[in-house]
Amino acid sequence: MSNAKTYNIAIVGATGAVGQNIITFIEENPFPIGEVKLLSSPRSAGSKVKVNDIELTVEEAKETSFEGIDIAFFSAGGSVSEALVPAAIKSGAIAIDNTSAFRMDETVPLVVPEVNANHLKENKGLIANPNCSTIQMVAALKPIQEKLGLNKIIVSTYQAVSGAGLAAEEELVNQTHQSLKQEEMTAEVLPAGGDKKHYPIAFNALPQIDLFEDNGYTKEEMKMINETKKIMNDDTLQVAATCVRLPVFTSHAESVYVEIDQAGISADKFKEIIASGEGIILEDDPATQTYPTPLSSAGKKEVFVGRVRKDLDNDKGFHLWIVSDNLIKGAAWNTVQIAQSLVEQNLVK
């Protein structure tokens, strides 16, 4: 019998959109898994979920839930992470948090493994997983930053409703039925759960994701701006973002303009460098109408890039289209990759 080390894991938010995807990737055995503990709010506690054909009972997440746990995944909202991450760390677990609660804390590494796995060794028991829209953008732009220098990013997003949880997905389904039956659409979740007004998402586009800040940007836009500078390790990088929700279930798309350091780079050279990135797939051929879409990328782990063009006025400007499954690379898979990288670097106690 082998006595190789296995890792006991807890998944807080196991019954949610992100948690369910984490379970799928854990079943692929990304590193040797020991016991699995599924945690939720009292609403789902007691329900049964199968992991590797074994039926597990979901338990209520509490401060005492983390005894004997090596790695604790959190995707149950910022307030749950604020309440329970300290307890997980105190119990000796390493916490990987999918919420925005600790991302900008200077003592917390914010990691996309293909971009900055080297930051993991600085952890003090907690790693933050970036926002979904940030993850796919920095993954695609990392090789450009490395090989051509990167000065400026202007991004507009086209984001799926699944990024706002299962309730938002249900809202799109219900409103679509209502609209097709010519009934009035009921809107209670989007654009942001905690805001005063709600607008229909079916057959619509909403230029608001998360709440507004005093500077006129939304929190989602500020997440993209601040997280990108932190992950790419460049305070002087200029970043602007406009985040838009679309009636799409899965995968975020982004129209991105960048300015690089080097002059005289062709679109073909730019494409070649993008395609060299780890986990990046270039799908770009106007002659055959080849480009990624939310539907073509859904269910996949990679980040897809197409529509690469050189700007017609600025020799150092380029345009590109970046698409990835927001619940996979944008959340669950990146989180599991962080755990895998921690194990590989021998950083789990």
- Residue 247 binding result from ligand 3JM, ligand NAP, none, given CB thresholds of 5 to 8 Å by partner type: none
Q: Single out the residue of 43, 50, 121, 124 in contact with ligand NAP (rule: CB under 6 A).
A: 43
C-alpha 205: how far from chain center: 21
Surface-to-core class of residue 141, CB atoms within 10 Å of its CB (0-12 exposed, 13-18 middle, 19+ buried)? buried
Q: Note if 252 is an active site residue.
A: yes
Alpha-carbon dihedral angle through residues 121, 124, 127, 128, given to the nearest 10 degrees: -130
Of the candidate spans 7-15, 139-147, 253-261, 303-311, the one that interacts with ligand NAP by CB under 6 A turns out to be: 7-15
Q: Single out the residue of 131, 250, 251, 324 in contact with ligand NAP (rule: CB under 6 A).
A: 131
100 binds ligand 3JM (CB under 6 A): yes
- 177, 198, 252, 319: the catalytic one is 252
Q: Which is nearer to ligand 3JM, 91 or 100 (CB)?
A: 100
Q: Which two tokens stand for residue 98?
A: 């999918």
218 binds ligand NAP (CB under 6 A): no
- Contact map string, positions 54 to 93, toward ligand NAP, x by CB under 6 A: -------x-------------xxxx-x-------------
205 CB contacts (<8 Å, ≥6 apart)?
Answer: 244, 245, 246, 247
Q: Which two tokens stand for residue 23?
A: 């379970």
| Amino acid found at 342 | L
- Contact map string, positions 184 to 203, toward ligand NAP, x by CB under 6 A: --------------------
- Contact map string, positions 123 to 162, toward ligand 3JM, x by CB under 6 A: --------x-------------------------------
C-alpha 269: how far from chain center: 28
Which of these, 226, 255, 225, lies nearest to 240 by C-alpha position?
A: 225
Maximum Cα–Cα distance for the chain, whole Å? 66
Q: Which is nearer to ligand 3JM, 130 or 292 (CB)?
A: 130
165 binds ligand NAP (CB under 6 A): yes
**What residues form DSSP beta bridges with 321?**
255, 306
239, 229 contact by CB (below 8 A): yes
**What residues form DSSP beta bridges with 82?**
none
Which of these, 131, 122, 246, 265, lies nearest to 190 by C-alpha position?
A: 246
Count residues near ligand NAP (CB under 6 A). 29
Site residues for ligand 3JM per CB under 6 A? 77-79, 99-100, 131, 163, 223
Catalytic residues: 132, 252
Site residues for ligand NAP per CB under 6 A? 12-19, 40-41, 43-44, 61, 75-78, 80, 98-99, 129, 131-132, 163, 165-167, 330-331
